[in-house]
Amino acid sequence: MQPTYILLVVNDPLASAAFYESILGTAALEAQKTFALFRMNPSTMLGLWSKHTIEPPVAVAPGSTELCFVLENAEAVNECHDRWKAQGLPILQAPVEADFGYTFTAADPDGHRLRAFHPSHQG
Domains of the chain plus CATH, in order, are 1-58 (3.30.720.120), 61-123 (3.10.180.10)
Could you read off the pLDDT of 43-101 as tens digits, one per residue? 999 999 999 999 999 887 878 899 999 999 999 999 999 999 999 999 999 999 999 99
Q: How far is CA 22 from the centre of its chain?
A: 11
What pLDDT is stored for residue 59 in this prediction?
83
Q: What is the C-alpha to C-alpha distance for residues 20 and 97, in angstroms, rounded to an integer?
A: 26
What does the DSSP 8-state code read for residue 11? S
Q: pTM to 2 decimals? A: 0.90
pLDDT at 123 over 60: no
Q: What amino acid occupies position 100? A: F
Burial of 9 (0-12, 13-18, 19+ CB in 10 A): buried
Q: How many residues does the chain have?
A: 123
Nearest alpha carbon to residue 51 among 16, 19, 14, 11: 11
